[in-house]
């Protein structure tokens, strides 16, 4: 599920105080905290760095069932089967508040989905969470969307089946592959914290009040905030306020300090200056959630490996940029060609570890013999030059692994290890994604 590592994105630290509105020319910035950072509520000091990495890799592969471009709303069936599911949690988390008075929630921030939702009372079937569950009856600004309204139709919501006990509220269902949430669509005030010291409130934000939610979420996770490109996402709903711009700067995975990553909105999200590379966002009208880019090739040193696919899919818009997936996951036939070139350059003794799930790893004891190549990702419109910490990860005392892997998924996924130490800016009005090399620990 997007966020989900990953799967998906960040923790906004909340301090509820004065509310301000954001002008179309304004901007603000919030903190993002990796789920394995010492500042994260999920931080487990007993885990080794290699254990954290393996967990992140597993979340990357678990995310695949969700990040197929088929995500949509559908009518919820009252007697739908339930299963014990594999978690698709993301790498970054966020805190925000909803309602009046503001009610704080901790949610997965997910660039691979749209709806903002939290578990709500009464919970017909909810997973266990540590914090109190949001009670919409206690919010003076909460209002359900009527199932017969034009808004419900536009959001692809449905009227509940007779006898389901949900009244006339517009009902949603979001399927995250093997996880789902079902509930009522509503509007309420959403409040975000800001590093300016003042909170930012947005009235009449579309949210989902989840009454039937299935998945192995952590007890401290209370829902998901969709940051995708669809109509219900936070980014789209803030569109005029932030002029369609947001950006983030992700601190590298292996960073052990307390430095937070940053998520910027509006004018604060503009990516400009020396070294900026921009590439077009490819739009598919039926798949607005995902940010599709076009990967043309990947160079290993001076050897360029042109993108190729064994499928009949178009080469345009062939990769999704995803802040919630750790690894970069490529179409198998293309990955195979890339791996051969990388392995030839790197040399050294290979090591296999089925628990890691990455095919190309080398013995760390041979590291002095390894030649880590310069790797450049060629997108349509520009080239992104990666550093070794974007392409290789030390996963244990014994193994150094290539942070790319094959996956049967069309399109491919451009993960957050490759994005670390870049200021990555999205402009949904100009339909571009920009990359600027940046030391994100100093932003």
pLDDT, position 344: 94
More confident site: 54 or 1: 54
* Domain residue limits at 293: 273-442
Mean pLDDT of the chain: 78
* 414, β-bridge pairs: 321
Selecting among 110, 114, 218, 243, the annotated active-site residue is: 110
Domain-ending residue, one of 262, 290, 310: 262
* 143, β-bridge pairs: 187
Selecting among 188, 322, 421, 427, the annotated active-site residue is: 322
In three-state secondary structure terms, 277 is: strand
Query: Which residues, 6 or more positions from 278, have their beta carbon under 8 angstroms from its beta carbon?
Result: 381, 382, 432, 433, 434, 435
pLDDT one-digit tens code per residue, 369-392: 788 999 999 999 999 999 999 999
Give the tokens for residue 318: 């062939």
Q: Rounded to whole angstroms, how far apart are CA atoms 152 and 187?
A: 12
Taking the CB of residue 135, how many other CB atoms lie within 10 A of it? 14
Q: Rounded to whole angstroms, how far apart are CA atoms 65 and 67?
A: 6
**Domain shared by 216 and 288, yes or no:** no
**Domain shared by 254 and 297, yes or no:** no
- In this prediction, residue 366 has a pLDDT band, given cuts at 50, 70 and 90, of low
DSSP 61: H
CATH of residue 52: 2.40.70.10
The overall pTM is greater than 0.85: no
pLDDT, position 322: 86
**Domain shared by 112 and 211, yes or no:** yes
**Domain shared by 282 and 243, yes or no:** no
Give the tokens for residue 300: 């290993």
Structural element, H or E, at residue 19: strand 19-20
Q: Rounded to whole angstroms, how far apart are CA atoms 347 and 344?
A: 6
- 322 part of the active site: yes
User: Nearest Cα to 199, choosing from 325, 102, 343, 297?
Assistant: 102
**Domain shared by 238 and 354, yes or no:** no
- 135 part of the active site: no
User: Nearest Cα to 158, choosing from 150, 144, 146, 147?
Assistant: 147
**Domain shared by 434 and 360, yes or no:** yes
Query: Which residues, 6 or more positions from 100, have their beta carbon under 8 angstroms from its beta carbon?
Result: 139, 140, 141, 188, 189
- Structural domain tally of the chain? 2
Average pLDDT over residues 209-228: 86
Domain-ending residue, one of 198, 233, 262: 262
Taking the CB of residue 369, how many other CB atoms lie within 10 A of it? 12
Strand order across the beta sheet in which 303-306 lies? 303-306, 295-300, 375-379, 382-386
More confident site: 349 or 135: 135
Residue 267 lies in a domain: no
């Amino acid at each position: 599920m997007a966020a989900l590592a990953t799967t998906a994105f960040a923790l906004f630290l909340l301090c509820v105080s004065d509310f301000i509105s954001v002008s179309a020319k304004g901007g603000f910035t919030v903190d993002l905290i990796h789920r394995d950072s010492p500042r994260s509520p999920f931080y487990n000091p007993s885990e080794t760095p290699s254990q954290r990495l393996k967990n992140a890799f597993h979340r990357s592969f678990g995310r695949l069932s969700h990040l197929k471009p088929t995500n949509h709303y559908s009518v919820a069936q009252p007697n739908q089967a339930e299963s014990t599911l594999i978690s698709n949690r993301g790498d970054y988390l966020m805190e925000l508040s909803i309602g009046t008075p503001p009610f704080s929630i901790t949610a997965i921030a997910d660039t691979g989905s749209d709806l903002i939702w939290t578990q709500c009372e009464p919970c017909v079937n909810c997973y266990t969470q540590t914090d109190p569950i949001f009670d919409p009856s206690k919010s003076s600004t909460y209002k359900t969307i009527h199932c017969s309204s034009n808004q419900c139709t536009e959001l692809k919501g449905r009227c509940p089946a007779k006898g389901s006990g949900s009244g006339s509220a517009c009902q949603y269902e979001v399927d995250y592959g093997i996880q789902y949430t079902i509930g009522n669509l509503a509007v309420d005030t959403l409040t975000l914290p800001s590093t300016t010291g003042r909170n930012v409130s947005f009235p009449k934000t579309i949210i989902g009040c989840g009454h039937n939610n299935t998945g192995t979420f952590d007890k401290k996770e209370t829902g998901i905030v969709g940051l995708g490109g669809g109509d219900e996402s936070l980014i789209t709903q803030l569109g005029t306020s932030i002029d369609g711009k947001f950006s983030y700067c992700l601190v590298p995975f292996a960073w052990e300090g307390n430095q937070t990553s940053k998520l910027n909105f509006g004018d604060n999200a503009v990516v400009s200056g020396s070294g900026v590379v921009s590439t077009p966002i490819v739009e598919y009208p039926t798949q607005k959630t995902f940010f599709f880019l076009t990967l043309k090739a990947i160079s290993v040193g001076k050897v360029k490996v042109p993108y190729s696919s064994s499928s009949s899919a178009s080469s345009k818009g062939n990769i999704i940029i995803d802040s919630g997936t750790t690894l970069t996951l490529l179409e198998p036939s293309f990955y195979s060609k890339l791996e051969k070139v990388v392995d030839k350059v790197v040399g050294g003794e290979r090591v296999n570890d089925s628990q890691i799930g990455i095919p190309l790893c080398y013995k760390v004891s041979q590291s002095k013999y390894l030649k880590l190549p310069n790797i450049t990702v060629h997108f349509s419109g520009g080239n992104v030059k990666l550093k070794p910490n974007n392409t290789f990860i030390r996963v244990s005392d014994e193994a150094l692994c290539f942070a790319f892997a094959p996956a049967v998924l069309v399109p491919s996924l451009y993960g957050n290890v490759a994005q670390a130490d870049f200021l990555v800016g999205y402009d949904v009005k100009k339909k571009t994604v920009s990359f600027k090399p940046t030391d994100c620990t100093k932003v």
